[in-house]
A and B are shown apart, each in its own frame.
Chain A
Amino acid sequence: MKEIARFHQAVNQPWETAGRIRQTGQKIIGYLCSYAPEELIHAAGCHPMRLFSSGHDILLAENHLQSYCCSLVRGILEDSLAGRLDFLDGTVFPHTCDSMQRLSDIWRINRRHGFFADLVLPVKLTTPGSAVYLEAVLSRFKGDLEAALGTSITDADLENSISLFNQIRTHLSAIHEFRVRYPGRIRGSDMNALVKGAMIMDRDGAATLLSGVVESLQQLPVPDRPAKRLVLAGSVCDTPDLFNTIEAAGGTVVGDDLCSGQRWFDSLVPEDKPPLAALADRYRTRATCPAKHAGLITRADHLLSLVDRTRADGVIFVMLKFCDPHAFDHPYLKECLEAREIRSMALEIDDSRQNQGQLATRIETFIQML
């Protein structure tokens, strides 16, 4: 499908994508996690661009980071120090895990990329105070953006951006529903490129292309054999080979609880509320990251309901090496799955080249066990 190819192209050549956007005169603000309020950046007339590690060898970042730091943080810092992110006009760091916070410190001190903002989000998301506090954090970020760019963001600007990002979420959710209904018809690596691409590309263009994908879904070929249905859970899965390995082993991904997946596009920003309150609302009620807290069993409830809704046969935890928040949650999530007799397996991965033989052996065995 030609629309999907455009997403692959954007994902495979993020620097060229950024270059084309800059040629239009738009400023680019980078962000590092799914709690970044992209709508505000967009409403300020800038392009929000999610940063991933490009996977280059780590040569410069080692001097700045502790060894127990995930490959995402290490790789993004390497890209920055090597000058590969010089297209950035600014960066925003939502307050999530320790490594991200330390990366934010290094970023701020090095001052390589213009505008800089730390968003100190509440850790507990369910208290009445967190709503007021989160809205204040967003309002301050809005003010910082306005001051730095010499512009003003009106409610109408923000409402337009919310509407555009909701369109993207709606399209991605429709594609997700399609993969639940017709497993294996949309390939995992394609779904990954669609979501990742929508975090990188011009959003108007992405929304139009995604709408084209939704319309053409029925044209996708029907797989010749049924596959085991899997849910992926974890932080960031930026390993397209993983999806191919799963599919070669007779499995298919029907849903995920990933920061680079459904956590990013699930649930809409309410369009009938004042825009800042509405943005705060979505962050407080959407699926939570383990660096946030919304109740003792909220994450397990979410995972179990995802497994139920997608009729998954098993769960693969995809954990970045040294990702403490996810590693701490893994035992209890695994127990909750076991209590419901749902099999799971944990894969520790990083951005560097994987040992494909071992990975394939684990995944094949797990799928055979289901």
Chain B
Amino acid sequence: MIFAGIDIGSNTAKAALIKDNTLVGTRVMPTGYHHLKAGTRVFEELMQQTGLSRSDIRTVVATGYGRASIDFADKAMTEILCHGAGACFLDPDIRGIIDVGGQDSKAIALDDQGHVDNFAMNDKCAAGTGRFLEVMANALEVALDQMGDVGLTADNPAKISSICTVFAESEVISMIARQEKRENIIAGIHDAAAARVAILAAKIRIRGPIMMTGGVAKNPGMIAALEKRLNQPLIISPYCQETGAIGAAVLASRM
């Protein structure tokens, strides 16, 4: 019996298939404007990739911001519940999750059974999200996937005092004008974003082991800044970006 999870995030659409409690495959693609089209395409491409057809799939659960648009899903569940289930599937010992995605960041606490016990989400403001890093990468003319590595070479990380993405961008532009080293600015940006996320973690009194999920978990600079703020190592799965989709497939298997 095969179960599917589809996660329509603000930036990327992800799909995952599980069979007998084992991951069969995952796929990621940009979301774009049309949620249903993105969900259908990522799901079809994953079936093609794994040599499966729609009739092989027993249940589909959709999650993420576009979850309600996926009309062929049997159920829609929030990404908080799905990241909880996904992180637990990838590592049953996990008790805390930091999920930093394109447009929001979340801290999630799991109970001893791995169920979501508490959570906190960023409120409206984009600081501390993937979008914040994107805006900054653009201002600094650094490829988004290079941000992390460049930031790790800083010798004197800059201090970003503004907590708003728009104001922080103008602060970064003044730093560029002062010829501050790019890597120091980037390290400062990571620390500012990590500080926002750490507030969420403190709010729910997160406990370890903590897994970091979401697309931003691919950024080593953010991981380092967060580990410093949380004062503990973060567990990063190779499926960090697909954790929500995997969790959706896990929850589909329990229906």
- CB within 8 Å of B: which residues of A? 348, 355, 357-358, 361-362, 364-365, 368-369
Q: Is the CB of B123 within 8 A of A361?
A: no
Counting CB contacts under 8 A, is B54 at the interface?
A: no
Q: Is the CB of A355 within 8 A of B116?
A: no
Counting CB contacts under 8 A, is B79 at the interface?
A: yes
B contact residues around A368 at 8 Å (CB): 77-78, 81, 116
Q: Is the CB of A361 within 8 A of B124?
A: no
Q: Is the CB of A362 within 8 A of B121?
A: yes
Known: A357-B65, A358-B104. A365 touches B116 (CB 8 A): yes
Known: A355-B124, A358-B104. A369 touches B78 (CB 8 A): no
Leading 10 A-B pairs by shortest Cβ distance: A365-B80, A365-B78, A364-B78, A361-B78, A357-B65, A368-B81, A355-B124, A369-B116, A365-B81, A362-B121
B contact residues around A348 at 8 Å (CB): 123
B contact residues around A362 at 8 Å (CB): 119, 121
Closest to A349 in B: B123
Closest to A364 in B: B78
Q: Is the CB of A369 within 8 A of B77?
A: no
A361 touches which of B79, B115, B116, B117 (Cβ 8 Å): B79
B: number of interface residues (CB 8 Å): 14
Interfacial residues of chain B within 57-80, with CB under 8 A of chain A in the complex = 65, 77-80
B contact residues around A358 at 8 Å (CB): 104, 121, 123-124
B contact residues around A364 at 8 Å (CB): 77-78
Assembly CA distance A362 to B124 (angstroms): 13
Give B107-140 as 1s and 0s: 1 = Cβ < 8 Å from A's Cβ atoms: 0000000011101010110000000000000000
A contact residues around B115 at 8 Å (CB): 369
Assembly CA distance A348 to B117 (angstroms): 20
Most B CB atoms within 10 A — which of A361, A362, A369? A361
Assembly CA distance A125 to B151 (angstroms): 58
Q: B167: shortest Cβ distance to chain A, in Å?
A: 14
Q: B104: shortest Cβ distance to chain A, in Å?
A: 7
Q: A368: shortest Cβ distance to chain B, in Å?
A: 6
A contact residues around B116 at 8 Å (CB): 365, 368-369
Q: Known A-B contacts: A357-B65, A365-B119, A368-B77. Give 6 more (CB < 8 A).
A: A355-B124, A358-B121, A361-B79, A365-B78, A365-B80, A365-B81
Q: B10: shortest Cβ distance to chain A, in Å?
A: 9
Give B154-169 as 1s and 0s: 1 = Cβ < 8 Å from A's Cβ atoms: 0000000000000000
Assembly CA distance A357 to B80 (angstroms): 13
Closest to B80 in A: A365
A contact residues around B104 at 8 Å (CB): 358
Closest to A321 in B: B123
Q: Is the CB of A361 within 8 A of B121?
A: yes
Closest to B82 in A: A365
Most A CB atoms within 10 A — which of B79, B80, B115? B80
- 23 contacts across the A-B interface (CB closer than 8 A): A348-B123, A355-B124, A357-B65, A358-B104, A358-B121, A358-B123, A358-B124, A361-B65, A361-B78, A361-B79, A362-B119, A362-B121, A364-B77, A364-B78, A365-B78, A365-B80, A365-B81, A365-B116, A365-B119, A368-B77, A369-B115, A369-B116, A369-B117
A contact residues around B119 at 8 Å (CB): 362, 365
Assembly CA distance A345 to B114 (angstroms): 20
Assembly CA distance A263 to B20 (angstroms): 53
Closest to B119 in A: A365
Closest to B66 in A: A357
Most A CB atoms within 10 A — which of B77, B78, B80, B123? B78
